[in-house]
Amino acid sequence: MGQKITKDMTFQQVLQMSPEVSKVLGQFNLGCVGCMGAIHETIEQGAKVHGLDVDEVITALNAIFSD
């Protein structure tokens, strides 16, 4: 079974999984690479703060690993 990203993971955890993660986050205007909040903020928290649908973000991120 491949890797799976969940909404309770921090941005830092997810960014360490693949270089493609930052590209996907960029599509949602989430500039998490340089953000200090990325260390502790979960995907769900970040999506909420930025007015995004967390399920849409998670689906896009997990598509990286769906091959």
The pTM assigned to this predicted structure is 0.86
Closest residue by Cα to residue 48 from 8, 12, 18 = 8
Is 33 within 8 Å of 15 (Cβ atoms)? yes
Rounded Cα–Cα distance for residues 9 and 16 (Å): 11
Supply the pLDDT for residue 29.
87
For the chain, list the domains and their CATH numbers.
11-65 (1.10.3910.10)
Supply the pLDDT for residue 30: 85
Q: What is the pLDDT of residues 2-59, one digit of tens each?
A: 679 999 999 989 999 999 999 999 999 887 666 666 778 899 998 998 899 999 999 9
Per-residue confidence (pLDDT) for residue 1, from 0 to 100 = 47
- Close Cβ partners of 66 (under 8 Å, ≥ 6 residues apart): 2
